[in-house]
Structure 1
Amino acid sequence: MPSLNQIFFGPPGTGKTYATVEATLQILDQPFLVKNAGSRSALKARFDELLAASDVRFVTFHQSFSYEDFVEGLRATTDEQGQIRYEVVSGVFKSLCESIASELSGKYRAFKVGDRYGTGYKVIRANDYIIELEKPKGKNFGLAMSLLNALADDVSQGVLSVNDLSTGNWEEKLPNSTYDPYLVKGYRNIVPVLIEHMLSKRNEDFRTAEVVQSERSKVLIIDEINRGNVSRIFGELITLIEPSKRAGASEALEVTLPYSKERFSIPSNIHLIGTMNTSDRSLAALDIALRRRFTFIEVPPNPELLEDIEVDGIAIDELLSVMNQRIAVLLDQDHCLGHAYFMPLESDPTLERLAGIFREQILPLLQEYFFEDWQRIQWVLNDQRKAPENRFLIQPSQDLSE
């Protein structure tokens, strides 16, 4: 079973983002992955289908990416009178979690049309916002689900009892309550019955929902996860992403979000897949809280993928291996070159294409790695052993007599 939280890490050009496609299908459609393991085009097409269906979301972290983009924030809007209003807008991660919650709520609502409670109260409408009942004498009335959920929470947490709702003692226990006294007192013969049913249904549906959730997973891919301020982006959710803290787990937790004031927990079928470029920031420098909650999968350079490519007598797999050995000695393994830079040679194994790869990609990268220390760059390229006309780097001659 794939880990709920995993990060693919390695130097640039090793195929980390490429690997997220197979990792996603391993979670969402393993039979398809097994059947089409040798066809990259088929796997990518299936991945795109899941992306279009919103079963997969893709986001890239950067320095400007914030908690408000990831979880929730305020957005200014203008109403019909031209007045500025601020509304809470869900970020990419919260909206993904909400999509699962909405799918489950449609299947596991506590009340269904036609159900009867108490002395003959009949449900004539029920959704996530309101339950409308028909009294035994034929008149209708409605109760907000937000009120019933809040009362059910108080009872489940021991703040109130069902008997308190029946007798009216709830006002003494909650003197500063914002509950509408008329709604609670006026329907004390039916509200306690509804609360008892909701609590029993919660326990029953929680177990059922766990089974459904395991079959209906969703994936959030976070590219370049170490480029953002992870602690600031995740905020209090850094604790909730732990498998043991997910909804339905043995030590499940929920938090109250700062803008919406909603209670929030992370479903157990949300998978997080990150990619991390080790040349940008070392693994040791990554937030410790994040490292503890993710499993790390190394994606090193793979010269074997280039072993069939030869350009003008140059074995490209050996070329990459030797260059990476030198980089590892002169710098470290986190800055090795990935095989992906040389993959275009598979379809165009020409000296011109190889020269273009070095000129436009490899040399600029080495300049950045070694802070324009040209001697080290020459060592990586083995320029010091070449004839001047064959070197990558040419040192201009200076005539001091002029």
Structure 2
Amino acid sequence: MKPQIKFIEILDFLRDYGKRYYKDSNKIEDKDQKQEMIALKELGRERVKEFLKVANYFSSKGYMYEKTASQWLDGSRRAIRDYLWIELKNPLKRSYSTSISIFAERVNSQIRFRVSLEIKDKDSEIDVFNRHNKYMDILDSAHTNFEYFVSVNGNSALKEVEKNEIASTIEKAKKREYHKLQIGRSFSYNDVLEMSSDRLLKSIEDAVEELQLYYNRAVEDGTEDHGINSNRASLIGGNVMNDKNIILYGPPGTGKTYNTVKYALAIIENKSFEQIEEEVDGAGYEHVFLRYKEYKDKGQIAFTTFHQSFGYEEFIEGIKPVVDDENTGEIKYALEPGVFKAFCDSASKLKVVTSNDADLISGNPTVWKISLEGAGENPTKTDCFRNNCIRIGWDHLPKHIEFDTTCDTSTVRDMLIDFQDTMSIGDIVLSLFNKTTIDAIGIVIGDYDFDDSLVEYKRKRAVKWLATNIRENIYALNGNTNLTLRTLYKLNRINSSDLMEIIEKYPEISSNSSSNSISVEREFNNYVFIIDEINRGNISKIFGELITLIETSKRLGKDEELTAILPYSKKKFGVPDNVYILGTMNTADRSIALLDTALRRRFKFIEMMPQSLVLDDVFVHDIEISKLLEKMNKRIEVLYDREHMIGHAYFIELKEDPSIERLASIFKNSIIPLLQEYFYEDYKKIQLILGDVNKTDELKFIRSIKIDPNLFGASLETDIDDKDIFQINQDAFYNINSYTQIYDL
């Protein structure tokens, strides 16, 4: 289902207010003018928010867009823009100044929407223009219905090219006689009036898809696959895996966990699995694994293993005991997110990026509520907003508080320790206005300081305010719980991603008009959550009601987006679209046919069987390891099934150490115990697997020995004459012929 967008109201705003003077209402004394500017600001925000619905629609389909472009004020902050602008880019080419851009604009007397292949003038040197202009090499004006717009030099406005001048204009643009040429489609004010929201959005989407072929050529730099792919995937990276939920399944030792590293990198880096395998072949697995560890350290990859005791509380959320303080040993109970919910929170976190690409928010920020001299408006709060800081009192107490410091109350002591020690750079602070409403959002950027130059409220930290003097009701966001007057405490029900909807109401905070500029955006990178041994857990117990939410079509931002109210926190929760779940499943533990039906239909299954070819170059003296493995697996498939074959990974270490001692260790400590487990110590079948029935006694791994009839004495009435006992022949492990006669009968 497409979003309903008020396209005509966006154009009306540009028509009525484009180029109009604007002044910050906080700097205006006249009440009427002040109210006028406040109303204008609110209207501008509403129209930008409406326009960003277009951007978010394309974002949900995998496109990346630059949010700083969609501002309602110009760079001077003293005039309203006469255009709004969205740049759509391939995430892998985000640094390039070329984009497919969507404009809402007023050009002279024309009010319109326009979709064009664009390049930023101010960011582009001559070599950048030359690469961008390569799209003209495949542009055939005789067989396309694009509109053409040209600027003669860097300072001139775009003008539409007449049909009879298109061919000559393209040639002049190729020769750089014109500054730049844009191709695309436009939709006039009258067109918009006559079209429904769905129809116009579909027309814009069609125009974007038409331009993809030319966009791909304009950003070519030699790192792409050969050939031009005109489908949507080529714009968003081409090799992104479409399946959000994947299970690698197969017998033990087939490299399932090993391959999660390669699959995770393919997903995060928008590459094909084959490209990663080529890297492994060329540079070695260690080179790829190093990148995997870097992503894991950054929090983009998480790893857990399911087991019989693993439950909902560990996976989603639960109430857990915590030691309140090491000195008292007091135990309290706190609501803690499980590994998957915490990972999803990170994947949808708020990103606040400075002009030098530094992310101000820590990996897993705590959200704090702070009262700056109490509720409402007051001088301390005004000073904090003006000077980018937060301040609290209790100036009569020591500058640095320890656990044993005598304070007014233990609550005051805990609060001051939280302010000076527990609060971290990168955490988020919300300033109290009243019991349901906040009036500012900021990010902690400095350590604790006791500022003696201040008259009062001397305990201080530096913050970067994202929005001040706002009025945002967070009662529902806080689990339908009122804020209290306590000066400082954690808002455990709120995380950074919850605040994005509020932040997006104030797009001017991400202005890039100064050196201190910041950009506020959602996390767009892919995240991979790996679940090893996924079939060993009780799926219903672990996922609970959230099993539906992992479906690709039910992810956040999708047309069929679903959320659930979590039972403990009472918060809405959904699975972000950039989270991939990658599981492994050992079929020797549990057949895929027996897997939980709800899980099975929500995952794509990739079978991983033994690859004896991997061992083709491995020889231990005259023993051909690939033949040995292949013959054993054929016998296992007949005597048991294909899900209990032996994986090639058991023998990989022979590549580095092809000795009989190493092979003996593998058979004694891995292969024989595995076969004993498979066949419940039915040694006759194990003998068949190892070819022992055709060997002489000294070459058999498993010997059968007749029972001595006198073992129990003459009084035994039980007939045991035909019963055999079995014995493992230790000498066979070091005999080359014991192995060769497994496959060479």
Shorter-chain TM-score range: 0.7 to 0.9
**What is the distance in 1 between the residues matched to 2:350 and 2:343?**
11
**1:234 matches 2:479:** no
In structure 2, the partner of 1:345 is 654
- Are residues 1:11 and 2:254 paired? no
Distance 1:34 1:333 in 2: 26
| Deviation (angstroms), 1:394 | 1.5
Please state how far the C-alpha of 1:78 moved relative to its aligned partner.
5.3
Identical-residue share of aligned pairs (%):
43
Deviations 1:168-191 (A, max 9, x none): xxxxxxxxx9889xxxxxxxxxxx
Aligned partner of 2:474 in structure 1 is 146
Q: Is the 8 A contact 2:620 2:658 kept in 1?
A: yes
**SS of match in other structure, 1:14:** coil
Note closer, same or farther for the CA distance 1:143–1:128 as it changes in structure 2 (3 Å cut): farther
Q: What is the CA–CA distance in structure 2 between the aligned matches of 1:296 and 1:247, rounded to whole Å? A: 23
Where do 1:68-147 residues align within 5 Å?
A: 68-77=313-322, 79=324, 84-104=331-351, 124=385, 129-130=430-431, 131-132=438-439, 145-147=473-475
Higher RCO structure (Cα 8 Å, ≥6 apart) = 1
1:81-117 deviation line (CA, Å, top 9, x unaligned): 986532100011000111133335889xxxxxxxxxx
Distance in 2 between the 1:30 and 1:321 partners? Answer: 35
Aligned pairs (5 A) from 1:150-189: none
Distance 1:354 1:382 in 2: 17
In structure 2, the CA distance between the partners of 1:343 and 1:84, relative to structure 1 (3 Å rule), is closer
Q: 2:179 maps to which residue?
A: none
Structure 1 residues 237, 178: closer, same or farther in 2, change over 3 A? closer
Displacement of 1:314: 1.8
Give the CA deviation at 1:28: 1.1
TM-score (norm 2): 0.42
Alignment CA distance shift 1:279-1:369 (3 Å)? same
> Letter of the aligned partner of 2:262 in structure 1?
E
Query: More deviation in 25-34 or 375-384?
Result: 25-34
Aligned to 1:44: 289
Unpaired segments ≥5 residues, structure 1: 108-121, 134-139, 152-176, 181-197
Post-superposition Cα deviations, 1:280-327, rounded to whole Å, max 9, x if no partner, equal 000011000001110000110000000111223221111111110000
Q: Which amino acid aligns with 1:147?
A: Y
Q: Distance in 2 between matches of 1:288 and 1:128?
A: 44
Distance 1:395 1:248, change over 3 A: same
Structure 2 residue matching 1:321: 3-state secondary structure = helix
Q: CA RMSD in A?
A: 3.3
Aligned to 1:252: 561
| Greater percentage in strand | 2
Asked if the contact 1:11/1:337 (under 8 Å) is kept, the reply is yes
- Secondary structure in structure 2 of the residue aligned to 1:8: strand
SS of aligned partner of 1:88: strand
* TM norm structure 1: 0.75
Deviations 1:346-381 (A, max 9, x none): 122122222221111101000000001111111111
How many pairs are equivalent? 337
Q: 1:17 to 1:200 in 2, by over 3 A?
A: closer
Q: For 2:276 and 2:616, locate their aligned partners in 1 and report how far apart those are by CA, in whole Å.
A: 25
Distance 1:199 1:90 in 2: 23
Q: What SS does the corresponding residue of 2:685 show, helix, strand or coil?
A: helix
Q: CA deviation at 1:279?
A: 0.2
Deviates more, 1:141-150 or 1:248-257: 141-150
Asked if the contact 1:16–1:275 (Cα under 8 Å) also holds between the matched residues in 2, the reply is yes
- Aligned-partner SS, 2:319: strand
* Residue 279 of structure 1, aligned match among 578, 588, 591: 588
Give the corresponding residue for 1:114. Answer: none
Query: Is the partner of 1:76 in helix, strand or coil?
Result: strand
Distance 1:36 1:212 in 2: 31
CA drift at 1:230: 1.3
Q: Determine whether 1:371 maps to 2:618.
A: no
Report the secondary structure of 1:85's partner residue.
Answer: strand
1:145–1:34 distance in 2 versus 1, CA, 3 Å: farther
Residue matched to 1:55 = 300
Structure 2: tracts of 5 or more residues without a match: 1-239, 354-358, 360-381, 391-427, 432-437, 441-467, 484-500, 508-518, 712-745
Q: Is the 8 A contact 2:268 2:527 kept in 1?
A: yes
Summarize the Cα distance change of 1:399–1:291 in structure 2 as closer, same or farther, 3 Å threshold. Answer: same
